[in-house]
């Protein structure tokens, strides 16, 4: 199987579906001529033209409001918000209109839109361009939240998101854009359904449940522990909403020890929801130790690169947390 980057996988997903379905449009700040802030849509303006790939004014409120309206009237819009931090400016149309439309109209309406946005730290973009807002969004009924960790998952999940009748917030961790991974050829079409976790590394001694940028980091730590005879299972939940509770519970029951790892600040982070899923299930009676969370520090992201690196779970911190459970 060929290897392409995470960014290329996202572009392929959009282009392949746009060639099939003229209802799909892409718009956002600099997604056209410039090709997107991180180059994901490079070349799409030339292929699909300014009617289907549109540069917008610098107004996240207007961009998202237009997407909600377009989706309600039959189009399948994909919008790019340049940094996930700026979702704060789009909350009203996204949360109060898009997320609630199907409920308000008894399922007669739908808002099939995707809001793509780069999230997370690691690029030196400081405190207003480096946040991980997934917990803010996952708290809103009616929204779906997707956080892929590999090129394969990014492509398959984006295709599923485009046709979902609900608004989908698709969070792309910035440091993953240039990472490479196996992806089938374009003629081997595939879709990954939302709400299905993936066991990236089976194991029997301890479970690490994670998502996004922390997945490759946890896999690297798991490989190091394997050299010491410890078999670490790594579960990538992939979609926060809907959440695959069955896979999480099954992993906890199998190993009896669970570490939940996520990049966002630990207090109020989505990792607490994962802990709650296990504690509320019969997996609780299989545990040999308390469930442990390892989130980011409760601080804004610093600009200083050495400080920034220490705000989120590092390989050293993940290793230490695993050791404490073992």
Alpha helices in 127-260 (DSSP H): 134-138, 151-163, 214-226, 245-255
Task: From the candidates 129, 159, 213, 293, give the one annotated as an active-site residue.
Answer: 129
The answer to whether the Cα torsion of 296, 311, 28, 44 is positive or negative is: negative
Q: Alpha-carbon Rg of the chain, whole angstroms?
A: 19
**202 in active site:** no
Q: How far is CA 206 from CA 21, 61, 254, 277, in A?
A: 45, 44, 8, 17
Closest C-alpha to 63, from 31, 102, 99, 33: 31
Q: Is 244 helix (H, G, I), strand (E, B) or coil?
A: coil
Q: How many residues does the chain have?
A: 326
Report helix, strand or coil for 26. strand
Catalytic residues: 129
């Amino acid at each position: 199987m060929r290897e392409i980057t995470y960014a290329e996988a996202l572009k392929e997903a959009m282009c392949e579906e746009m060639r099939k379905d003229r209802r799909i449009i892409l718009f956002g700040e600099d997604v056209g001529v410039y090709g997107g802030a991180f180059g994901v849509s490079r070349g799409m303006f030339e292929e699909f033209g300014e009617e289907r790939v549109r540069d917008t004014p610098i107004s996240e409120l207007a961009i998202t409001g237009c997407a909600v309206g377009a989706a309600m009237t039959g189009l399948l819009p994909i919008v790019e918000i340049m940094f996930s931090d700026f979702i704060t400016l789009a909350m009203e149309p996204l949360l109060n209109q898009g997320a609630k439309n199907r409920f308000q109209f008894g399922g007669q309406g739908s808002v099939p839109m995707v809001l793509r946005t780069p999230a997370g730290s690691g690029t030196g973009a400081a405190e207003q361009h480096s946040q991980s807002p997934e917990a803010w969004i996952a708290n809103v009924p009616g929204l779906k939240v997707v956080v892929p960790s590999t090129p394969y998952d990014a492509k398959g999940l984006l295709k599923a998101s485009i046709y979902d009748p609900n608004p989908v917030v698709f969070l792309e961790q910035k440091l993953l854009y240039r990472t490479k991974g196996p992806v089938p050829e374009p003629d081997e079409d595939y879709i990954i359904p939302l709400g299905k976790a993936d066991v990236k590394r089976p194991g029997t001694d301890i479970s690490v449940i994670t998502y996004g940028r922390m997945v490759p980091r946890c896999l690297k730590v798991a490989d190091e522990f394997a050299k010491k005879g410890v078999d670490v299972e790594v579960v990538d939940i992939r979609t926060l909403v809907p959440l695959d509770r069955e896979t999480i519970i099954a992993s906890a029951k199998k190993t009896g020890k669970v570490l939940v790892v996520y990049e966002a600040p630990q207090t109020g982070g989505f990792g607490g929801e994962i802990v709650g899923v296990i504690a509320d299930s019969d997996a609780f009676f299989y545990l040999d130790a308390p469930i442990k969370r390892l989130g980011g520090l409760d601080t804004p992201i610093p600009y200083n690169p050495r400080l920034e690196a220490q705000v989120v779970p590092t390989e050293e911190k993940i290793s230490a947390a695993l050791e404490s459970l073992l």
